[in-house]
């Protein structure tokens, strides 16, 4: 059984060319372009994560364990198996690195700063869980990533089972809701005014992430009612599913946060440039 992929091609293309105008030279422009690609890769993972919450909510799916972990697994499976973008594997590596650097940023503050009671697992656990599933599915493609994350060979092998179980479980849960014929569910994509986040809104539109995800969901699942995917300003870097409105919200601020994470935490922009 497979999810029915929308006919539209995926546009998660590299080199979005959306580098802000203040780039001072080609090297700067290249790094800014990479930062935007990183932010958009994270946006793709984030959208599939929130779509996971949406499917649980709209379809009333049972969830064993933390829902957050379950939908992280679905987002990972989606990018590994069903997203046709040629850089969907890179998107996974970037999204895992995003959780990793979120964790690194919070580690200096001491153990009391960790929210052990959160409905999310710790960011560092989310990073490792993703990389485990990635190497479990495709050891050849992700062995190096798993090595960088210092997941040892024995554990990498065990990740094969972890992945298989997550994949089988999700497919079994979703199977009764898969569309058989040419029906489509109603999934609308709305880009709200982006204000100062216009560069990020443009990159999001150009990437086609939300439209592609919407087309795929609409063609794949019998949803009980209309669902909206909305990109908007939220006043915080976030993304969420609103059950009362049947909406998946992606906040432009999150793209900005991931953009600067790449610049400052990953390439050390502040250390090397003015
Ligand atoms: Zn979540």
Residue 163 sits at φ, ψ, to 5 deg, of -65, -45
Residue 9 sits at φ, ψ, to 5 deg, of -70, 155
How far apart are the CA of 73 and the centre of ligand 1, in A? 11
How far apart are the CA of 182 and the centre of ligand 1, in A? 30
How far apart are the CA of 250 and the centre of ligand 1, in A? 12
Helix H or strand E encompassing 189: strand 187-191
How far apart are the CA of 69 and the centre of ligand 1, in A? 8
- pTM to 2 decimals? 0.87
How far apart are the CA of 25 and the centre of ligand 1, in A? 38
**CA dihedral defined by 127, 70, 119, 107, rounded to 10 degrees?**
-10
How far apart are the CA of 68 and the centre of ligand 1, in A? 5
Range list of H helices, the chain:
26-59, 67-77, 88-107, 123-137, 139-148, 153-174, 198-207, 209-220, 252-260, 269-272
- Alpha-carbon torsion (55, 57, 60, 64), positive or negative: positive
Question: What is the per-residue pLDDT for 111?
Answer: 52
How far apart are the CA of 240 and the centre of ligand 1, in A? 7
Residue 60 sits at φ, ψ, to 5 deg, of 65, 40
Burial of 42: CB neighbours in 10 Å, binned 0-12, 13-18, 19+: buried
Rounded Cα gap, residues 272 and 191, in angstroms: 35
Spell out, as residue ranges, where the chain has pLDDT lower than 50.
1-2, 5-19, 23, 273-274
How far apart are the CA of 271 and the centre of ligand 1, in A? 33
How far apart are the CA of 228 and the centre of ligand 1, in A? 17
How far apart are the CA of 98 and the centre of ligand 1, in A? 15
Among 10, 13, 78, smallest CA distance to 46 is for: 78
How far apart are the CA of 111 and the centre of ligand 1, in A? 23
Question: What is the per-residue pLDDT for 117?
Answer: 65
How far apart are the CA of 49 and the centre of ligand 1, in A? 6
Question: What is the per-residue pLDDT for 141?
Answer: 97
How far apart are the CA of 53 and the centre of ligand 1, in A? 7
Helix H or strand E encompassing 251: strand 247-251
Question: What is the per-residue pLDDT for 196?
Answer: 97
């Amino acid at each position: 059984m497979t999810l029915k992929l929308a006919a539209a091609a995926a546009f998660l293309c590299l080199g979005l060319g959306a580098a802000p105008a203040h780039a001072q030279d080609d090297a700067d422009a290249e790094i800014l372009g990479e930062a935007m690609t990183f932010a958009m890769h994270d946006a793709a993972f984030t959208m599939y994560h929130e779509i996971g919450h949406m499917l649980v909510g709209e379809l009333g799916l049972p969830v064993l364990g933390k829902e957050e972990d379950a939908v992280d697994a679905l987002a990972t499976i989606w990018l590994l198996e069903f997203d046709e973008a040629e850089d969907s594997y890179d998107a996974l590596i970037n999204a895992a690195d995003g959780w990793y650097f979120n964790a690194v940023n919070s580690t200096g503050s001491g153990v009391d700063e960790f929210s052990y009671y959160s409905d999310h697992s710790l960011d560092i656990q989310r990073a490792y869980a993703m990389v485990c599933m990635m190497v479990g599915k495709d050891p050849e493609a992700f062995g190096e990533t798993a090595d960088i994350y210092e997941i040892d060979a024995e554990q990498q092998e065990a990740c094969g089972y972890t992945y298989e179980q997550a994949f089988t479980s999700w497919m079994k849960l979703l199977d009764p809701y898969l569309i058989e014929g040419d029906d489509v569910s109603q999934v609308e994509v709305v880009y709200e005014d982006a204000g100062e986040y216009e560069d990020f809104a443009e990159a999001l539109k150009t990437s086609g992430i939300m439209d592609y995800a919407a087309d795929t969901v609409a063609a794949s699942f019998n949803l009980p009612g209309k669902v909206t995917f909305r990109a908007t300003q939220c006043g915080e870097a976030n993304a969420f599913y609103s059950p009362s409105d049947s909406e998946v919200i992606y906040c432009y601020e999150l793209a900005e946060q991931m953009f600067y994470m790449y610049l400052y935490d990953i390439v050390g922009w502040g250390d090397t440039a003015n």
